[in-house]
Structure 1
């Protein structure tokens, strides 16, 4: 299509002359005699602007000048449009010709060039037998499958797919300028390599990152390659950097119809596959692998997501959640896991906005974009710009209680109608998005109420837990009473937000309660496992511990700071000792460190430790020995300072 648009005017002009374009482009010799102006092509001239009696252009120069010819189409067409050649003083010389002639010759030479595919396939087979990865990328980002697809080599496409080529692997080539910067070379050299080793059909100044072999096969109008790719599992719904699907590049009606049918089949297949996966591995189980505790919160959120996935929800309004609870208790992590599950780990599918940045009235412009005439109008808003790119994203409004009331007015429209108008006046539809607000409102009340629930849970725990963490998988389901929600939490929310219509548009208010005893023990174990891994990988030190250490460290839990208090407790009481011992040379690479605690047995010892936690101690077994030795890094440091 591009070729037709740009060369038809030249072909019409050339047809007026004695020599036709067919005669000029079908020379079998490596030289061509072109009448007319050839300076535009860089092929040489006799000094006259319009007329050259004859110009010898060898085949090599034609090949290397092809890109230049192609770039000069638009410039030359513009010249003809601005100033007709018939009005020039050189009109008696006739129309300029060689731009079209040379370009046509280059195009025909490129198109007619034959490649012995049998020899190529045999050579490729030899490389694959030697262990060459069929999916290996060119230094500039593309694979052999991409090159075969864009050049319409259907046999090569089929061969590569049969030998394990990934049909959904994206091209990492961005643009010649960006690739040149990344590889510290010149754009011209990148362009030459892209032309010579990939294809001459594309405008290499454009972005191609994210294009798959299916994008290129559709662009080349090669139905045989497209069919092979689809049969091999190519995703017809995948989008590139510009969010274009392969179907968007189809120019032929037959190709477009073919892609639409396969897209429908692919979506139906993926929907059945996802439904089967949800039956075998429910969402609750997936999230519990990443989040400790919060049974009630996970159940509430997963129930709403399940309604949405199976079509049992109001399609005219987005899902809206409000997560309440103290800091460090899993609110943000649950939002991340929802985005991870729904969008298969795509980073752009999770939008996090810190509402503490929107405390002033004028900062509403950052949210939706500045109005016309103001600085930043062309940049767009932080929310609208990202929602436009991903309208079904999971959006997290962190610490929503800190935002200015005018921002809440915008959220009111967003939650009610599922759409938002940016500073440019464009409406963004996002009814399929999921909006999650987190807040520390009523966190003290929830924490105090949670302590009561925790005490009740501990009574249940004591019936099956007798001092040793034998089963850390047992958790107690804590239920927030309706009375607590209606008489304590809701008045606090209403007093802050000052509007019932805002609270009325929230589908679910989710409560995050303090951790139970068994959940705290599990948090401590996860933290110790993390430090054990770091000691092994960075210092070649094995770190082990007594089970009673878990109990002692779990006592450092602060209900107002959540899991962060456990993290800080482990760092203060254990990691500080390890760092001090390492610096003093008490522990060295190759040794084993055993962490333990002295549990008081007598009443006198218990009375001494009543107001202070049990001490955490370490023993060291050096490489080549069989026994552990007690070490005290603090005492060793004092002795060293005394000397």
Structure 2
């Protein structure tokens, strides 16, 4: 006892280094006594710091006078450092010490996570401490933060820890009442409050704006975890779910007014104003309840390859379902060209291989009934697959291989096709030329805007007499076409849109060159004019991408390999006439080193190593 009093007395005045001794050759009872005393010493908090245990050493000068008390020592060295308030936060919340939590206000990150993934609000909620929940929310806790802890075995594997260690930490520092074989990833404070069975905690969270519609990783809302005898809690959740849904709907309407879908789509997609306008108008109709609830929305996107059909479908899904990956289902119909591959779509019938797995489409729609489903290159599908799609579009439901019906009337189905793409491309070029002529007249004051809009719209004659016969011949049936709400035409890019595509591609490569090679890339405006000449109306934006790679990036890579450009180089792309052919414009680069004031003009057209001349 005298040893510990002396040791504790010696600890207090030391400001930078603290040395603590624990005897090694003592009985179990004595060791336990020493460990308890050591824990007391660990809790000594000088004014500007905290004792943190460090590495084990063999001896230490300040303890020489005490060596005659024990035969040998295990010496632990500790250093004074800034206090770990976040660590204290979890202990305080677990103990339910409100006054201690108030003292931590302003010193602690209330949204800090435990090393295993949960927050302090999760701790308070799972233990049903409504007062602690209120105080944490008042201090700025994120009420809808998700727990990153899945289950003991997975976390142990992720963190490279012993599973017993993880289990003990979860039980001692979170809650011992949970089934730790289950996954809790994605649980919010509201989920945990429901599991705690404390209605008051649930009400506190709901009144402070907790989202009752939020799902965990398994797709379950908080209300799904209520027990049958928890009627008061369940009724409160139902009431606030309706209230929250109404508030969210009002917010979404306001957000849509301020930032319409057309503007959102235009941020990502170059050109295609007509296609965007049709899709946005149809989606708006659905969002505001002006649609047939018995049938899903069905689109058919027509146009050349690389013109934005797939990207528009992705952006619609992102708009409707935010970043939920299950909200967008893409099926490549080239994988369904054979009769037997219908089973891949809806599931194999009883007695056949794959019966237990289910179909790709039915499985996806069971998980997310209002998903955006993309059928890519639908003309490649077998006629029997189209028969299944006909039922899907007509009734808004599918019967899987198990005989179970999957309801999906709220889904949006988008088919893309290259049918009539050549005709649409040629017609689009003609439209662009006519539009340019009308635009010149319009700017001269000889034509009004209404006439201009009418002229650049795809004509009914073209749709009925050119496109429809091609669709009918390939898809074989009128009733299939009759189920489509909107056939959307994607036209070739205009010159201004091509410039945007080139600029977008060059900016992407400039960013990559800076990040990967620390090389700054800039260019003249004339470079853009030269690169748009590589546009092919039948291959869309991909032809621009390939032209940039051929005429610029391939040559930059060669210059890099031969040592003409290095890290910290500045490269400026410019255009000059070919000395042998005045009609031929060549892209060249001016290379500046780190300390160079003047650049060196260099031809990008490097000769192939195979060319010996």
Q: Which bin holds the TM-score, normalised by the shorter protein? A: 0.7 to 0.9
Aligned mates of 1:180, 1:429 — CA distance in 2: 40
Residue by residue over 1:260-298, the C-alpha shift from the partner in whole angstroms, topping out at 9 and shown as x without a partner, is 110111011011111111111111111111101001100
Question: Secondary structure of the equivalent of 1:219?
Answer: helix
| CA-based RMSD | 2.5
Provide the C-alpha distance between the structure 2 equivalents of 1:553 and 1:412, rounded to a whole number of angstroms. 44
1:548-563 → structure 2 map (5 Å cutoff) = 548-563=526-541
In the alignment, which residue of structure 2 is the partner of 1:120?
Answer: 97
Is the deviation greater in 308-317 or in 621-630?
Answer: 621-630
Alignment of 1:140 onto 2:111: no
Q: Does the residue aligned with 1:534 lie in a helix, a strand or coil?
A: helix
Q: Determine if contact 1:454/1:516 at 8 Å carries over to the other structure.
A: yes
Pick closer, same or farther for the CA change 1:148–1:243 going to 2, 3 Å: same
Within-5 A mapping of 1:176-195: 176-195=152-171
Give the 3 Å change call, closer, same or farther, for CA 126–591 of structure 1 in structure 2. farther
Single out whichever of 392-401 and 149-158 deviates more from structure 2. Answer: 149-158
- State the distance in 1 between where 2:510 and 2:120 align: 44
Distance (whole Å) between structure 2 residues aligned to residue 559 and residue 162 of structure 1: 59
- SS across alignment from 1:530: helix
1:429-578 correspondence to structure 2 within 5 Å? 429-459=407-437, 478-578=456-556
TM-score normalised by structure 2 residue count: 0.79
Q: Distance in 1 between matches of 2:381 and 2:301?
A: 16
- In structure 2, relative to structure 1, the CA distance for the partners of 1:152 and 1:441 (3 Å cut) is same
Partner of 1:18: none
Change (3 A) 1:558 1:598: same
Q: 2:342 aligns with which of 327, 352, 364?
A: 364
1:174 is matched with: 150
Report the equivalent of 2:361: 383
1:292-331 deviations in Å (ceiling 9; x for gaps):
1001100100111010000000000000000000100000
Quick one: distance in 2 between partners of 1:387 and 1:325?
27
Match of 2:595 among 609, 624, 631: 624
CA contact (8 A) 1:584 1:637 kept: no
CA drift of 1:564 comes to 0.5
- 8 A Cα contact 1:117 1:156, kept in partner: no
Contact 2:93 2:101 in 1 (8 A): no
User: Distance in 1 between the 2:435 and 2:265 partners?
Assistant: 22
Deviation at 1:453, TM superposition (A): 1.5
Gaps of 5+ in 1: 1-113, 466-474
Please report how far the alpha carbon of residue 463 of structure 1 lies from its aligned counterpart in structure 2 after TM superposition.
8.0
SS in 2 for 1:555: helix
Structure 1 residue 117: Cα displacement: 7.6
Find the partner of 2:185 among 209, 212, 218.
Answer: 209
Q: CA deviation at 1:179?
A: 2.3
Q: Which region of structure 1 is more displaced relative to structure 2, 138-147 or 632-641?
A: 632-641
Instruction: Show CA shifts across 1:341-384 (max 9, x none).
Output: 11112111000111111111111111111112222212111111
Distance 2:609 2:442 in 1: 45
Contact residue 92 and residue 101 of structure 2 kept, 8 A: no
Distance in 2 separating the partners of 1:379 and 1:394: 22
CA contact (8 A) 2:94 2:124 kept: no
Q: Does 2:223 align with 1:247? A: yes
Q: TM-score under structure 1 normalisation?
A: 0.76
Residue 197 of structure 1 and its aligned partner are, at CA, apart by: 1.8
Q: Does 1:608 align with 2:608?
A: no
2:380 to 394, 402, 405: 402
CA change 1:197–1:545 in 2 (3 A) is same
CA deviation digits over 1:167-199, x for unaligned, max 9?
Answer: 111122222232233233444333222222221
Residues 1:154 and 2:125 are matched in the alignment? no
After superposition, the Cα gap between the structure-2 partners of 1:266 and 1:403, relative to the gap in structure 1 and judged at 3 Å, is same
1:57 is aligned to none
- Cα deviation, 1:568-613, whole Å, max 9, x if unaligned, reads 100100111211112222222222111011258xxxx8x9355xx5
Q: Deviations over 1:424-451 (max 9, x none)?
A: 1111110000000001111111111112
CA contact (8 A) 2:303 2:419 kept: yes
Q: 1:230 is matched with which residue?
A: 206
